[in-house]
Structure 1
Amino acid sequence: MALSKKQHTSTDQQAVLDAQLLLWHHTMGYVKSMALKAALDLSIPDAVHQHGGSATLPQIVTKVTLHPSKIPCLRRLMRVLTLTGVFSVHAGGDDEPVYGLTPASRLLVGSGMNVTPFLTLMLGTVFVSSLFDLGEWFRHELPDPSPFKFAHGRHIWDLADHDASFGKLFDDGMVADSSFIMDVVVKECGDVFQGISSLVDVAGGLGGATQTIAKAFPHVECSVLDLPHVVANAPTDTDVKYIAGDMFESIPSANSVFLKVYAHIIVKSCSC
């Protein structure tokens, strides 16, 4: 059945409103990221955790460093974080909201599968600011294709080597990410390591991933290849061997090569 002119107009208006809503979601999406960053900076997940996994706003305030004048603003921040699923909320006594940990915020507390250092790295000024001039980066023909280097004048690893504070932030973030994902890999994909006698983790940093493999599969001789300044800070109380070198020049001989890029895990058997 054909639509009337009024129905067509209504449909067109709805399409325009939907388009505007889509653009607003993209434009304001950073608010969710920055709200999460604020929660990490203020240690709000830890505050809720210390109260047994659920806490009112006054209880949270007792555990975080906050100026009294900002308490009403904290309530607004918690509203964003509950709407985005970082925390849960339900009415408590005297209608005071009670905030609880969700599966997401449980990954931000404790000493186990805690991804806070990695999120702190990715939400930090250095990484976020490297995307501010992305449009300008597209206008230039550069010998190096990295927006990060365009913004900061150095590659990520070079900056980590020259800036001690960023270097620690980077190392802590990579270790946290490796520890989290490797716990899952070992449990769910452990059979891929069966039959392997030696493994070299290429660009493995401080060896967070490799140490997990070594503990779970002691029959595998594990080593890490990374740049000299990274290896210089490697732990010494481990059976993992650290080798200084450049992956683009040579890779040590091993029964298998391990490559990790954030959450993407590749284990490739080879005859090196």
Structure 2
Amino acid sequence: MEVKSIKQEKAEVEIWQYVFGFTPMAVLKCAIQLEIADAVESHGGAVSQPDLASAVACSPSALGRIMRYLTHRGFFELNQSTNQYSNTPLSRQILKNGAKSFAPFLLMEASQAMLAPWHKLSERAALEGGSAFEAAHGEDIWEFGSQNPAQSKIFNDGMASHARRAVSEIMERYGEVFGGIGSLVDVGGGDGTAMRCIVEACPWIRGINFDLPHVVSAAPRGQDVEHVAGDMFKHVPRADAAFIMWVLHDWSDEECVKILEKCREAVPKETGKVIIAELVIVEGEEDKYTDARLALDMAIMVHTHKGKERTNEEWDLVIKGAGFSSYTVKDIGSIFSIIEAYP
């Protein structure tokens, strides 16, 4: 009889997690679409399975199996004495109207348009600079979005939900980064959510949201933020400082240099700065966000031509290549860091 090592037994158990690795995302997408966490909340925080099934218009037997899985994964708790489900800190992350809800971001990543390119990853890996997204859809992610308003909305809603969380983290942990700034341009700011959050927290700032015409045209209007349409490779509106978040990872080093050059030209040489909110991968070191950072790097590989999450050395290359005289990197205890680049 074969005697298995502890490592071999562990591997044989663990591989099953990868065989069905798509399951957590798929079931969580289902829970968001059914608004299960919201239904639990609306019932005072505890609800029986029959009442929950009625509330979300779901088959009781199907819901029972879904809740069994999600409870196992830590999304809900089942009180054995009352036979009622309650939310957990994890399920509150997917409340539809939660201020920092992850629901729109997950729905974006779980949309058919964003999932299809994953099946083309091997093709992307075989060709330097190839695009899995383009292989799946016949055009790159930005062209696809401009031609498909429904998908563009899913994408913008997902990025807006990230922006709310990200700006909140920046304000809590490094809010002084916006001190002394009179005007700020958000480069690639989507529907303006990040800039609205910044201006709300820092009312002395005149906010400018800058993005492509089809993105800006769908952005909600208000008195607090000015929306400007344009191409960041050609021009960035002038301001005291520029803010660019989760944009540069979509582009190659050469393209990042061009974008950052336009950002540098948009701010005053003596007093301006460019604030970059992006991931920094520290190779050889791991923390609680390492797995998420590396997973996001794979997502960027799948969805863009030459984008990537960068190491400290790679950030040094593009920032100095864009002509900045100096920069600092601030770890704020989040999945991303804050880089301040000075002309």
Q: Same fold (TM over 0.5)?
A: yes
Q: After the TM superposition, which residues 196-235 of structure 1 pair with which residues of structure 2 at under 5 Å, given as runs? A: 196-235=181-220
Aligned to 2:251: none
Q: Is 1:112 aligned to 2:99, yes or no?
A: yes
- Identical positions, percent: 32
4+ residue segments displaced more than 6 Å: none
77, 86, 92: which one aligns with 1:88: 77
Q: Is 1:43 aligned to 2:35, yes or no?
A: yes
Distance across 1 between alignment mates of 2:215 and 2:5: 57
| Secondary structure at 2:119 match in 1 | coil
Give deviations 1:178-236, integer Å, cap 9, x for gaps. 11221222222211111222211110011100111111111122112111111222222
Distance across 1 between alignment mates of 2:98 and 2:197: 15
**Structure 1: 5+ residue stretches without partners:** 1-5
166, 169, 174: which one aligns with 2:151: 166
TM-score, normalised via structure 2 length: 0.69
TM-superposed deviation, 1:17: 2.2
1:88 is aligned with what amino acid? E
TM-superposed deviation, 1:264: 3.0
| Secondary structure at 2:85 match in 1 | strand
Distance across 2 between alignment mates of 1:145 and 1:250: 27
TM-superposed deviation, 1:13: 4.4
Aligned to 1:181: 166
Distance across 2 between alignment mates of 1:100 and 1:145: 46
Contact 2:210 2:228 in 1 (8 A): yes
Contact 1:259 1:266 in 2 (8 A): no
Q: After the TM superposition, which residues 30-69 of structure 1 pair with which residues of structure 2 at under 5 Å, given as runs? A: 30-66=22-58
1:89 is aligned with what amino acid? L
For this pair of structures, how many residues does the alignment match?
255
| Secondary structure at 2:18 match in 1 | helix
Aligned to 1:22: 14
Name which one, 1 or 2, has greater alpha-carbon Rg.
Answer: 1
Distance 1:210 1:269, change over 3 A: farther
Distance across 2 between alignment mates of 1:267 and 1:218: 23
| Secondary structure at 1:204 match in 2 | coil
Distance 1:112 1:218, change over 3 A: same
Q: Is 1:268 aligned to 2:340, yes or no?
A: yes
| Secondary structure at 2:239 match in 1 | coil
TM-score, normalised via structure 1 length: 0.86
Contact 1:255 1:270 in 2 (8 A): no
Distance 1:206 1:170, change over 3 A: same
Distance across 2 between alignment mates of 1:242 and 1:268: 24
Aligned to 1:136: 123
**Structure 2: 5+ residue stretches without partners:** 247-277, 279-334
Contact 2:92 2:98 in 1 (8 A): no
2:123 is aligned with what amino acid? E
Aligned-residue CA RMSD in angstroms?
2.1
